[in-house]
Structure 1
Amino acid sequence: MKDHLLSRAVPLAKHLLVFAALIAFWEAAAAIGLIDVILLPEPHQIAASIWDLYVENRTIYRHFFITLYEALGGFLVGGALGLALAVGSSLNDSFRRYVSPYAILLNVTPGLALTPIVIAWFGFGYSSKIALGAIVCFFPVFVNTLIALTRSDAETLEMFRSMGASERQIFWKLRVPSALPMIFAGFKIAITTALVGAVVAEFSQATAGIGVLMQRLSFSLDMSAAIAALLSMSLLGLILFTLIELLDDRIVFWRRAARMDAVSRKRRARWTGEREKQSGKPQGRRRST
């Protein structure tokens, strides 16, 4: 246990030392005039702005949760659409031939160019931000899911068919479990691009959100607060990415030995408990004669 904690603490300590060295260099460069503190404030000024946004004035929270709502909404809509079309495309070649060109066309069209049209279609409220987030996060889910579902191990597929498995059984028992790691990789890309889409729409037309707050602070040349808002945006992206990571760890548990062992122990205990209930006595115990 101690060796495990030490093996994790040493890399963390190295990262903290590198971070502290960068902050010290930044502060020193600003103190001797190598950095224009009007455009790039000192770290302690940014820290003071973070304290002001989160503790004293607490102006960040409303904008934070608005952007979170928009990004999650865009991810859910775009991810669901990409997943559904990818599943349909993997099951039907004709459907794939008609859908794939439009998906590629949507992907190569810059999201920034679509912003005015999306706002004109969906208005200035939350709908336009969610719509743009859905558009930009659709393709990673679609292409990752489609590739994963159409590529299965040939030997395993042959084994399933030799055992008389139906196409439905092959899909749910072989293709879907094999595709889950790549599907979640697409989800991780999509959740961050949904945040980008929501923020871009906020830059174009919005009254609230982290993008709006950062834009206002930048226009007023309050650069320390603007960077603090930018770091808040990064924090939001990290939270969303970590959420998908946790779902990946829970659902695709067989990729990690520790999680595999934990799930196996839990299922073994549940199976043993069911057997004891059915037999009416504890398993593994012998009566003395």
Structure 2
Amino acid sequence: MGHLAIRLVPVIKHLLVFAGLIALWELAAATGVIDVILLPEPHKIAASIWELYVENRTIYRHFIITFYEAFAGFLVGGVLGLALAVGSSLNDSFRRYVSPYAILLNVTPGLALTPIVIAWFGFGYSSKIALGAIVCFFPVFVNTLLALTRTDEDTLEMFRSMGASRAQVFWKLRVPAALPMIFAGFKIAITTALVGAVVAEFSQATAGIGVLMQRLSFSLNMSAAIAALLSMSLLGLILFSLIEILDDRVVFWRRTERMDAVGRRRRARWSVTDAATPGEPQGRKNLT
């Protein structure tokens, strides 16, 4: 119980700070310090959130559409960036030809590409997915490439002295060592994919959170527009959390609690396997 109370202290502090900021905001609006037309009071924003999510329920369709566009764009751009980075790490000549084009794509503003992407892919989902893939490609590519090419030399020498093949060095040494940095690239890419999808929605679309926020802003319904903006932030948090959960599951050795839990599960599984094959040395079947 005492341990739980200690863990709740930071949460309570954050809630108190948040409540204080909301109170100051309400006070500033009530005294005319801020223009409530452009920046409505928090209670009006809360009312708009209730209307969007509970009364009218208009947000859900837009939410799902933008989620699909951003996640699909992340998958396309992430897979492409991962594949090209792996190829570049294995072949220097391939890297010399691919890297300049990847850098050129990165330095080109995504907003400038929007009309061209729409002309190429049309006015449907494809253009939003394509722009999301373009803007999220580079973080995955550069993080994966740097991680796969920066291997500890002492560990690499040990692998070679034990007669490890090139494939074994890649899969048993380079990939596990690169996974933390690869997932860091994924976390950046998933948020940039959302930005790309929303930018494309601003340019042309009939549905999506970006479209909804744009319509509400043009009608000067600022409380609902801010509610839509907060929904966009929520969507970004959900996408980021999905990668965070996957990171926690795959790169488990970076966290002591997760590593101990995985170790316990594996020991239990090995014990069951050894018990089912009497006569063999303990753990032999699983170590070979």
TM-score (norm 2): 0.96
Q: CA deviation at 1:247?
A: 0.1
SS at match of 1:279: coil
Does residue 194 in structure 1 map to residue 172 in structure 2?
A: no
Task: Confirm or deny that 1:277 pairs with 2:276.
Answer: yes
Q: Within 5 A, what are the aligned runs for 1:5-84? A: 5-84=4-83
> What is the distance in 2 between the residues matched to 1:8 and 1:35?
37
Q: Residue 122 of structure 1 aligns with which residue?
A: 121
Query: What is the distance in 2 between the residues matched to 1:23 and 1:8?
Result: 24
Superposed, which structure 2 residues align to 1:163-174 within 5 Å? Answer: 163-174=162-173
Q: How many Å apart are 1:4 and its aligned residue? A: 3.0
Write the letter of the residue equivalent to 1:141: V
- Whole-Å Cα distance in 2 between the matches of residues 188 and 7 of structure 1? 29
CA distance in 2, matches of 1:154, 1:95: 23
- 1:209 pairs with 2:224: no
Amino acid at match of 1:136: V
Kindly provide the CA deviation profile for residues 241-260 of structure 1, in whole angstroms up to 9, marking residues without a partner as x: 00000000000000000000
Distance 1:4 1:238 in 2: 28
Q: Partner of 2:144 in structure 1?
A: 145
- 1:216-260 CA-to-partner distances (Å, cap 9, x unmatched) read 000000000000000000000000000000000000000000000
Shift of 1:188: 0.1
Q: How many residues align?
A: 281
CA distance in 2, matches of 1:57, 1:26: 27
What does residue 100 of structure 2 align with? 101
Gaps of 5+ in 1: 284-289
1:240 maps to which residue?
Answer: 239
**Deviations 1:107-139 (Å, cap 9, x if unpaired)?**
000000000000000000000000000000000
CA distance in 2, matches of 1:149, 1:31: 57
Return the offset for 1:8: 1.6
Q: Could you tell me how far apart the structure 2 residues matched to 1:264 and 1:3 are?
A: 28
Map of 1:257 onto structure 2: 256
User: What amino acid maps onto 2:79 in structure 1?
Assistant: A
One-letter amino acid of the structure 2 residue matched with residue 265 of structure 1? R
CA-based RMSD of the aligned residues comes to: 1.1
- After TM superposition, which residue ranges in structure 1, 4 or more long, deviate above 4 angstroms? none
Give the whole-Å Cα distance in 2 for the aligned partners of 1:6 and 1:271. Answer: 38
Q: What displacement does 1:3 show?
A: 3.7
- Which of 3-12 and 55-64 deviates more? 3-12
Secondary structure of the 1:23 match is helix
Q: Work out the CA distance in 2 between the residues paired with 1:11 and 1:36.
A: 33
TM-score normalised to the size of structure 1? Answer: 0.96
Identity of aligned residues (%): 85
